[in-house]
Amino acid sequence: MDYKKYIAEKIKVAGVSADEIAEAIAIPPNTEMGDYALPCFKFSKVLRQSPVAIAQNLAQSIGTDDVIAEVTALNGYLNFKLNKTGLAEATLDRIESEGAKYGSSDIGSGKTVCIDYSSVNIAKPFHIGHLSTTVIGGALYKIYNFLGYKVVGINHLGDYGTQFGKLICAYKHWGKRAEVEKGGIHAVNDLYVRFNSEATEEMEAEAREYFRLIESGDKEANEIFEWFKSLTLAYVNKIYERLGVKFDSYNGERFYSDKMQPVIDELKEKGLLKVSEGASIVDLEPYSMPPCLILRSDGASLYATRDLAAAYYRKNTYDFYKCLYVVAYQQNLHFKQIFKVLELLGKDWAKDMVHVAYGMVSLEDGAMSTRKGKVVWLEDVINKCVEKAYKVIEDKNPDLENKRDIAEKVGVGSVIFGALYNNKIKDIVFSYDKVLSFDGETGVYCQYTCARANSVLQKAKGMQFKTRKPAELLPQEYEVVKCLASFPETVKDAAEKYEPSYIARYAVDLSQKFNKFYFDCKILTAEEESRGFRVRLTEATLQTLQNALSLLGIGVPDKM
Ligand code: ARG
């Protein structure tokens, strides 16, 4: 049940809707004050009364019931205490009946969300810089799906540009088929790096010719290009699988190379296309932005041109409710320009386009350097975490079965969680020790909490309980109950703000609350009256933590 809504519906303020009231209801930092609080300052103006008087009047007019145990007014706040056992009963019932679906909803039914994420560049390194877009996009995909939206995951491949001419040229001069086949994307990348440092004038000219050949449909050039593309995709798909992300479309920039003309024509028709120094641009000066470049003076299209064509295509194909672009904040201007141009074209759906910007990831030891091909490959970071996780498991619990599988879940989970834990716009410094800490705010900590809950439940198997209903709740139990009850709301907030970090933080919060309960209160050796309920609370925590982690793409081992 949505308690904010429930409370809001009981509060009548003339001229203010229940939704607005629900919006204003907050969870006080100090539980002693209440479970929910409504600040009454906002209503002073409409009601022409002081907040103190409003709170007092409202407190008197709202009765208690099965859900609301107490209503009090304090300093202009209306404080609500919920019926603790009632809340516990309702929450656990719901988790037990919904299971893996707890937290889901159908608010998105009938709506489609496109998510453009990861969007790798063919034949270029898949490096640590791609971590955030891949896991933030992957998590948003699962979150929106969980809320009933139809989701289209799009990998807008970087597969268009003069660099592919260079690559083919480099391959023709220095490459050997068998070697490239064996070395895969790394070998392709080496060719590119070598071209950039060794290419002669003639080779540069040849490269331009190869690019032209790809464009004009030359068979050989296209075969080589497609081969590089398949090497890249085979490579990244293995990583996607480990990270638990998937795509419904790999339509990249090249896909739009023959779909730009209608956009260009429309820009012309609407008088938006200006010629400036030979190039075609959309002037954005009135909006304090540099012009959006549509065609270079040699007639070549640009990144922005292809993105405009892609936006048209997505609207026509998917009729999206929202179209998200999970791309680094370095491209803020690019997306502002694109969205503005669509608006100038009169597309009312321009307002449904969202740039989900995120910050940079660097490694603690400073190893990240894009200079001359010295990059940190994402795969190496993942492998290192898995290796480290394996060592820790071997240290702590050498007799564990399936150590390799567990290390994979823990290692991969630590990378994902490390990238998702902070507010997405923040730059983060990735530290192996931090993300793998058992007692920090990490994925490992949450996974370990699951293993702990699971071990309690294994021991509880076959036990008989006098009752499974909650008795008078201890504060530690109540904190867990409230946290469990707030999961559905957290999922919705995460979607609304495009912040998977809300769910990562939620998982840590629930783990901390559960661990406090676990250490302070006996479970299996508790008195008969509370034992059954505490086992249920443990079950519900495990289920909810699993649901939360799976929305992030993180698996949960039974044992650790
Ligand atoms: N491939 C681009 C890059 O690596 C990201 C593409 C993002 N998506 C888009 N529709 N522009 O910078």
pLDDT band at 371 (very low <50, low <70, confident <90, very high): very low
User: Which CATH superfamily, name and number, covers 3-82?
Assistant: Arginyl tRNA synthetase N-terminal domain (3.30.1360.70)
**How far, in Å, is the centroid of ligand 1 from the Cα of 119?**
5
User: Which residues line the pocket of ligand 1, CB cutoff 6 A?
Assistant: 116, 119, 121, 156, 158, 307, 310, 325, 327
**How far, in Å, is the centroid of ligand 1 from the Cα of 242?**
22
Give the pair of three-digit tokens for residue 125. 């390194």
pLDDT band at 335 (very low <50, low <70, confident <90, very high): very high
Among 114, 116, 127, 156, say which to mutate for ligand 1: greatest number of ligand atoms within 8 Å of CB.
156
**What is the distance between the alpha carbons of residues 522 and 525, in angstroms, rounded to a whole number?**
6
How many residues appear in the chain? 560
Name the closest-CA residue to atom 1, ligand 1: 158
**How far, in Å, is the centroid of ligand 1 from the Cα of 132?**
13
* 16-69 residue pLDDT tens: 899 999 999 998 888 788 999 999 998 998 889 999 999 999 999 998 988 899
Give the pair of three-digit tokens for residue 145. 């799906």
**What is the distance between the alpha carbons of residues 402 and 380, in angstroms, rounded to a whole number?**
22
CA of 121, closest atom in ligand 1 = 1
* 466-483 residue pLDDT tens: 999 998 899 999 999 999
Amino acid 369: pLDDT: 47
- pTM value is 0.93
User: Would you say residue 304 has pLDDT above 80?
Assistant: yes
Amino acid 370: pLDDT: 47
DSSP state of 474: P
In Å, how far from its chain's centre is CA 274? Answer: 39
Give the pair of three-digit tokens for residue 526. 């508790």
Tell me where in the chain the CATH 1.10.730.10 domain(s) lie.
378-552
User: Mean pLDDT throughout 147-172?
Assistant: 96
Q: Decide: 301 and 255 in contact? Cβ < 8 Å.
A: no
User: Would you say residue 390 has pLDDT above 70?
Assistant: yes
**What is the distance between the alpha carbons of residues 96 and 235, in angstroms, rounded to a whole number?**
40
Q: Decide: 55 and 77 in contact? Cβ < 8 Å.
A: yes
User: Mean pLDDT throughout 429-447?
Assistant: 94
**Nearest residue to 500 (alpha-carbon basis) of 138, 38, 9, 41:** 138
**What is the distance between the alpha carbons of residues 13 and 302, in angstroms, rounded to a whole number?**
55
**What is the distance between the alpha carbons of residues 155 and 15, in angstroms, rounded to a whole number?**
47
Amino acid 549: pLDDT: 98
Among 122, 255, 331, say which to mutate for ligand 1: greatest number of ligand atoms within 8 Å of CB.
331
User: What stretches of 216-331 show up as alpha helix (H) in DSSP?
Assistant: 219-243, 261-269, 303-318
Cα angle at 255 between 252 and 261, to 5 degrees?
A: 125
Tell me where in the chain the CATH 3.30.1360.70 domain(s) lie.
3-82
pLDDT band at 367 (very low <50, low <70, confident <90, very high): low
Q: How does the average pLDDT of the chain come out, rounded?
A: 94
**How far, in Å, is the centroid of ligand 1 from the Cα of 331?**
9
Q: Decide: 120 and 154 in contact? Cβ < 8 Å.
A: no
Which H or E element spans position 112? strand 112-116
378-552 has which CATH code? Answer: 1.10.730.10
